């Protein structure tokens, strides 16, 4: 599904000087029909009560889905932009690493829908998210 020339090194290079890098999000695996990444659960991603902030989970989900859509489009002609995201926070995590996996639900000409599941180090479900991306033409 993803272009063969896609490399983790290349997509991880976008992390500098933005939220993705500040939160420690890293793309870790490109599969046949998924993109996977990790995020530490630490002082950067905790809410005041010492557990993973729901907004951090949503950031991981949107990062994975956005990058997955970006890899599927002609970036010379189009942008992929987040249009809607929702999340169900299933269980708290206070330390370690969470891993998110984005898989397509729908890949259309003008929109993409992604299912993103985030699990703990113990492979326990932490968050389920669905992201809709709009594919819009670049203005010349």
Using alpha carbons, select from 6, 140, 135 the residue that is nearest to residue 74.
135
At 69, which helix (H) or strand (E)? helix 54-72
Reduce the DSSP state of residue 72 to 3 states and report it. helix
What are 18-36's pLDDT values in tens digits? 999 999 999 999 999 999 9
Q: Quote the pTM value.
A: 0.96
At 109, which helix (H) or strand (E)? none
Strand arrangement, sheet containing 96-107: 26-30, 35-41, 96-107, 111-119, 125-137, 78-89
Q: Which CATH class is domain 8-137?
A: alpha beta
pLDDT(104) > 80: yes
pLDDT(126) > 80: yes
What are 37-88's pLDDT values in tens digits? 999 999 999 999 999 999 999 999 999 999 999 999 999 999 999 999 999 9
Out of 12-16, 38-42, 104-108, 120-124, pick the least confident: 12-16
Taking only Cα atoms into account, the Rg of the chain, rounded to an integer number of angstroms, comes to 15
Q: Is 26 a catalytic residue?
A: no
78: phi then psi, degrees, rounded to nearest 5: -135, 160
The one catalytic residue in 32, 62, 84, 95 is: 62
39, 58 contact by CB (below 8 A)? no
């Amino acid at each position: 599904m993803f272009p063969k020339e896609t490399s983790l090194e290349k997509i991880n290079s976008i992390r500098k000087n933005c939220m993705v890098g500040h939160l420690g999000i890293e793309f870790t695996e490109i599969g046949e029909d998924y993109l996977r990444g990790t995020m530490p659960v630490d002082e950067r991603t905790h809410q005041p009560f010492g557990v993973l902030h729901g907004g951090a989970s949503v950031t991981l989900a949107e990062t994975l889905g956005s990058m997955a859509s970006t890899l599927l489009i002609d970036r010379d002609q189009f942008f992929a932009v987040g249009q809607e995201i929702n999340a169900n926070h299933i269980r708290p995590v206070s330390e370690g690493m969470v891993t998110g996996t984005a898989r397509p639900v729908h890949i259309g000409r003008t929109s993409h829908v992604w299912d993103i599941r985030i699990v703990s180090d113990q492979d326990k479900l932490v968050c389920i998210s669905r992201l809709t991306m709009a594919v819009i033409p670049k203005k010349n």
